[in-house]
Each structure stands twice: as C-alpha cells, then as structure tokens.
Structure 1
Amino acid sequence: MTKTTRRTALTGFAAGLLALTALTGASFAQSTTLTYLIPSGADGVAVAEELVKSFEAANPDINIEIETRPGGSEGDNLVKTRLATSSMADVFRYNSGSLFQAINPQQFLVDLTNEPWQADVQDSFKQVVTASDGTVRGAPMGAAMGGGIYYNKAIYAELGLTVPKTWAEFMANNEKIKAAGKVAVVQTYGDTWTSQLFVLADYYNVSAAEPDFAANYTAGTAKFATDKVAQRGFDKLQETFDAGYFNEDFGAAKYDDGLRMVASGEGAHYPMLTFATTAIVASYPDLIDNVGFFAQPGDDAAKNGLTVWMPDGIYIPNTTSNLDAAKKFVAYVASVEGCEAQTRAGGASGPYLINGCTLPADVPPAVTDMLPYFADGGQNGPALEFLSPIKGPALEQITVEVGSGIRPAADGAALYDEDVRKQAQQLGLPGW
C-alpha cells in the first residue's frame, strides 16, 4: 500500500510557539491526525489532496494523512478486511449502493443520519448509503456519473460521423473507424474493473424495455442468461471483440492508457464512467476539448438514455479514535466549499448531489454532453447496483473473458447468474 503523508515543516514556527507558551503560560491544543483511505488513481488522489489542503487551512488543528488502495475486487477485499480487523482508516472513500450494503454498514460504520449537513444532501443519494436499519451512514464524495462511451471528437469530425443513438449506428461508426486504420474501441483489461462497462452501462436500455427487471432480479426471478434484453450487454461486449475493434494491447492496457488514447486520438471510443473526466483534465488538459461523451446506445433511438451512477460515499468506521475530527472532515466534504475544492482539483465531471453546489460555466465538453440527459425531458435512470443490493463480485473477471473471446456471451451471462446467486445468499435475500 502506498501512503502519502501530508506534513508541513514548521520547525521555526513551532519553536516560537513553545517560547510563547513558556513566557505566557498559554495552553495550546494538541493537533489531531486523521487517516483518509481512497482508491488509487491520479484523479482520486488529486481531489483528495485538494480537499485535505483546503480543510487543513480552515482547521489548522487537524492534519490528514492520505492512504491509497487498489480498485476493483482487490480493493473491495481490502476494505472488508480492514473493517473486519478494526484497522480501517479514520475516514474512507468507497462505493455506494450494492457494494456499500456488502460491507455491513450497520455493524461497521458510524451513523450520520442526524448530522446537520444531511439537510443539504439530496435524497437520491441518501437512499444508496442507507443501512438496513434505515440509518444514513455516508456523505456524497464526487459528482453523479454517467456510464457510457467517451469519444474522440476530432476523429468523428475527420470521418464525418455523428453521435449514435442506436447500437447499430454505433457499430456502423466503428466499422468506418476501423476501415480508416484507427482503433475503434479502447479496452483496458490490465485494470479488470474497466471491462464491465458494456454490461453495466446497458442497464438503462434494460429498464426502458423491462421496468420491473430490478425488482424481479432482486427476487431471484429474473436472470441475465434467460432474459434476452438483459443479456444484450454481454452480447455487445462479444460483438465488439469479434469485429476486431479493440486496441492490440487491450489485455494489458490500463485505465490511464485508455484515457490517453481517447484524448489523443489513438482510439475513437472508450467505454467508461464520467468520473474519468477529471482524470483527463488533470493529465491531458490541452486535449480535454477533444473528448465528448454519449450514453451507451440501445436498439430504439426514441428510448436513448443514460445509465447513472451515484457518487461514492465517504464513511467513518466505528473504530475511529478521532470521531469529532472525522465528522468535521466529512461535513466539509459535504459542503459547498467541499464541492468547490473538488472542482478546483480536476474540474466538474457531473452534477453534485449537495444543495447549493453548482458547476462552472466552462465545464469540459464531456460534461456538457452529459447534462441534457439530466435536463427536463432528458432520459436517465440509476444503474442496477443502486436499485438492487446484488452485484456479483466476479463480474469483472467474467467480462474480461467475454471481451477477450475466451467465453461466449451466453456462457458469461450464465456464469454471472451463478455469481449473483452466491451473493444473494450471503445477503440472506428471500427467494434465493
């Protein structure tokens, strides 16, 4: 694990304070040090560092040390282990929704229901960090995200392409891009979690066709392998692989490679969550205007819409020995000042879910492209993991296999149904 420690050398100033204390007998409060665990990645680290810097400036008696952890299933296991062994940091960032439920929040996390700042947190977020006893255990960390496809605007302009609203149109664009000798779809299985997007971002299309899918899925009566609409996400992953649209190094390429490729024009499309906009701003500020975004297309242009992810949550484990300071930091994150610090760190990647937080006028094109889905008349809906507590932990390994031609889409869907069954049984859900 990498630990980034934020310390300021104030030797001379500290000596002055000691001298002043000796002369006047004044009493100075000892500073508190918090630890803050976040996922690794340039975008998340940049945001955390700006939040900590701003918070420490306003709270000089509290110092915060940032720790990083891996993403994906490795990171999930680490979070669960640290909670179970009472070794979790004082504050940590983690998923909301189904993965939040999987860490047993009622047992391990501090109840934040009655904190004053909760009055400004939108209810749509509160419901995805609410434990089984009805208590709210987290605050929003980041902006609402869309799951869809980044695209290189320069390539689209060069080849005369238009943003697709159906899967057939998307595949036609890919064929033209491939014919021009360019990479049509970037995949980055070196970071296995990135392989899931074609499946997960297709959920708006599933719900548009079958509004009751989430309820039936949770009840154990709807399955990916036996529902042709739900299986389409796996099919789309296989179709793009079979067509030869991926970059040659898709098996080893990493998330950061994907961002570089779509920003620079090395690749035309990169399926991803829109939180990545801040990472592109941080790493490729001169190229951000080249990057646009659209929702993953379905089969009906009239029902084109966006699958939406709630932000991560920021949580306090009940093992912290610095509860008051930890609550103060969480309150800062959930404030207008906290939103502004996040925006300063890497720009806004989407709408914040805290009342009073606004977006600057000069947001990147990828953010501008996302906002119509949230406007009046726009079409969007939550990802499945925010409508159901079930998300099988092996999905990213299964989608790597389907997206690498190792396993057919139908077999991948069936294997995921089995993974989901195990997860549902662990959660004690009826009907499983």
Structure 2
Amino acid sequence: MQKIALLILISILSSINTIKACTIFSCSRGGETFVAANEDDTTPFTRIWYNPSTKDRYGSVCFGAPDMQIAAAMNEHGLFFDYTAANYDLSKLNLTNPYRGDIMWEILGKCKNVKEAMVILKKYDYISSSKVLLADKEGNSITINPKGIIEKSGEFQVNANCNMINGKLSCLRPEMAAEMLSGSKENNVNFLKTILDKTHQEGELNTLYSTICDLKKGIIYVYLFHDYNTAYKIDLKSELKKGYRIEKLADHFPSSFAYENFSKNHSLYLKESIFQEMINNGIEKTIDHYTAESEKTFPKNEKLNAALLEAALQLIKYSWNEHNSGGTWDYWFSKPDGYDIIQYKDPKLTSAEKLLTYLSANENKDIKLQNFMYEILGFISLTQGKAGTAKEFYKKSISCPEETYAVTLERGNEMMKRLNK
C-alpha cells in the first residue's frame, strides 16, 4: 500500500522540469542552420508525437517523457525549442504577468521564427524555472529564462544547465561545446555529432536521446541512448502528412543491451510493459487480464496495482494529447488553463475510468491515494460531460483535507469552485 502511494506521489511531484541535465546548441554558418541537443534524464521510454497543422496551429513534432510533457519540439517552419533544467527561485522574481498555459507550446503553434516569438515573449513573463533555447531556420536563436532573454551573438549559442559553484561552472559540457564550435568552421551533421558524443552523459543520469535538426531542410536526425552510429531520420513535412500519432522512440532503433538493461531496471518498466500489451492486444482485454491477476493475489500485489494506476493515467494523457492537437495535459501540471476542461468522448477515457474504479474500490486503507483516484475520476467524468458525477467525485476527493495530497486538494478545490458556479 505504501509502495503504491509512494510511486504515484513521485509521479505527481515529478511533473515539472523532467529534463535534469542537457546540452543544447545552435549553429548557423556556411549557409547551413542547425541545432543539436543531448537530452539527459533518469526516465527512459521517450515518446515522440506528430501533430499535423490545424486552422489554429502549425504542424509539429514533439519529444517528451511518458507524462507527455514536451521536452523539445520543432514546427513545420523550422522553429525549434529545447529545455534545460535550472534552479531559479521564482518567488524572488517580480513576475506579474504569467502566461496561463505553456508559453512555448503557444509559440510552437503560432510562430514561424524567433522574431514572431519575441512578440509573445515580451508580452508575458516566462515563469518556468527551466531555461530554453529557441532557434529558427533564418539563423536566429535566443535563450530564455525567468530573468530575461539572451540573443545569440556570433555563429553559435550554447545552452546547458551546469550550475555555478564559487564562481565556476560545475561541469565542462558547455565549455567543451563552445570550444569545439569556436575551434572549427564546420557545420554539418557529422561534426555536430562529435560534439554531442563528447558531451553526453552515462551512469545514473544518462543521455537518453540526442537530436540534430537541419532547420532549413526540416530534417531531424535522432540517436538513442548515446549511440551515435545509428540514426532515425525524420523528414518532418513527410511525416506530418501521415497524420497524428504517438510513438515510442526506441521502436525506431535496433535492440540495444545497454538501453534495454537501463529500461528494465526503471520503476516504470512494468507499467510500460502493460501499456505495450494494451497496444498489441487491445485495452479492454489487457485490463481484464491484469485485474484478474490482481484479484488472485493475496496479499495484494502492490507493484501490479501501482503499474495499473500508472497505465490508467497514461491512457488519459494519450487521450488528452490526441484531442488537443498534441498539447500536454495541463490539468495534471496544475496550470491555470488546465482547469478549462474540454469535453470529448474517447474509449481510452472509458478504459481509464474502468481501471480507476476497480483500483479505488480495492484501496480502502490509504485514504490519500483513494482521494487522488476520486479526483482523477472526477476529471474523467467532467471531460465526458457528466458534470453531476464529476462534482460527487471531486467532493469526495477533498472531503478530508488532512488525508489528501496537496496537489489533489489544490485541483479539487478549484474544480469545486467552478462546478458550484
């Protein structure tokens, strides 16, 4: 029981700045414009999703963790962004006009270049504690953080998240990248790949994947788990013509012992296995199989039930992403516009509801976890247009504040205010 609560609490609290340490740089010279990045983190199972253009948004491709929070993206006009984590204390900054949602997602969908993005960035405060590099095919790039914007000067710009300790950088990655870029006149895939190789990380914190983006041609070269010999090549315009879809990045690469071993030792491996079975054998069949397995086990298989709970949340995240042009489930991240629930029907929501109903009925000792599941059942009900049912679930989720996760209490109270209007 405590294991389930701990796993789900980790999932809730890890919702911001999932990328722990990255190296990102832009380079424009010799008539070519590239950006390249090493994405370093502790959670494998990277997703990639394609979002065709709509009447309101440009088409794009996004990369991110299973929570479907965007770590990096490029749109059909060659505008690219990528994050590095940072430790800005937002409470100490005078940030008075935040954007209600994800400002970089807004920029990706509405802007063709850095110049257009600057119009939005000058209007709102950037309120993420991360840093982000934004670059376009015209050769412009900027880095953005809560304290301001730094424009590229010269041919290249490096964004890495090494902290300053006693006035010195705590790692050499940005210095190494800048030194290699300034020491050469090259600007091509092979050269940039050598920089990524030199600055990649291994160990508890790994370079999960790397990208080199040709912004003028709309081509992205992707490398898995710091193996720079095998590339997955994306022609963005061609891929967008195939329609919306979510894929596992690792499926585009041959099996690798190093990556598989790293993945199998991760706490989300069982959930990922169950979710893959849903894709292969059907969601309902898989749910029936695993709930039956859970019923057979006494004492309760906490590891399995935790994975089933995570699978239910993954279904919601996939569903929301599909019905919102590839956008992140902002409700999960407690963003202001995440409370503006869009109603739609989706079998994935029905399946998530079935799983959560089963799990909440069998979780009668950990009240915090049970209240969390009531909250998510409230969200599903409201999304499906069942406001009365949603209100009952939200009411139950916050009925005992001292036995409720802080994030559930925050979201539940906000939703009850809206439902009582």
Flag the structure with more relative contact order, 1 or 2, with Cα contacts below 8 A and sequence separation at least 6. 1
User: What TM-score range do you get, normalising by the shorter chain?
Assistant: under 0.3
Instruction: Give the structure with the larger strand fraction.
Output: 2
Query: What TM-score, normalized to structure 2?
Result: 0.26
Length-normalised TM-score, structure 1: 0.26
